[in-house]
Chains A and B, each alone.
Chain A
Amino acid sequence: AQSVTQLGSHVSVSEGALVLLRCNYSSSVPPYLFWYVQYPNQGLQLLLKYTSAATLVKGINGFEAEFKKSETSFHLTKPSAHMSDAAEYFCAVRLSSNTGKLIFGQGTTLQVKP
């Protein structure tokens, strides 16, 4: 069965510091992987996706993620945190089959301190 584990339900960084949000997946087939961001009382916005092309994926708002098959990881990073990055972040996996559904991790709340 496919699953996603996000290590750390809360991450706190100072403004300007590196952001690192961890995601590990479990899949018996090559996965499609995604990071979404959710601001309070809003839906999810796609940050970036991995679809078996380049292993280093760049997304919006300066975020990027690296797919590491040997570690079954897809960690999200941003070199310098901004106050507006404070939100909840979800990692999700989708099988590379015709199944449409996404399986989400439990989320990581990012706090950015001034």
Chain B
Amino acid sequence: DTGVSQNPRHKITKRGQNVTFRCDPISEHNRLYWYRQTLGQGPEFLTYFQNEAQLEKSRLLSDRFSAERPKGSFSTLEIQRTEQGDSAMYLCASSKVGRRTYEQYFGPGTRLTVT
């Protein structure tokens, strides 16, 4: 069990650029979640996958945001035409459907700064 990993850990970009983040969940975890955390706030749910299917999306996930999990393993979160309001920590979590479905394990996050 190597834990959830996220890359990059930090990303600085200029407004209007596109960015992509990657999340590698714990192996054999079939659920994967994305959250966004702004300074001084708790994480807010963005979307989640079960295997490769995206089952729920928050209203926070505007049409500039897209997430994929093509083979049911790693996931990517892309933000197009970034805005300063997108600056936040993007957290990924994974869990395994079954007896302990409710336990989500978080990665270290990707901190995005839009200048």
Contact = CB atoms under 8 A, between A and B. Distances in A.
Interface residues of B, number: 29
Nearest to B3: A43
Tier of interface size on chain A: 20 to 34
Q: Which 9 A-B pairs have the closest CB atoms?
A: A104-B42, A43-B106, A101-B45, A44-B106, A43-B108, A100-B48, A32-B102, A90-B42, A104-B43
A104 B95 CA distance: 17
Given A100-B31, A102-B45, A107-B41, A42 B105 contact: no
Nearest to B95: A100
A44 B91 contact: yes
B33 A90 contact: no
A36 B35 CA distance: 14
A36 B45 CA distance: 15
Contact of A41 (B35, B40, B58, B111): B111
A103 interface: yes
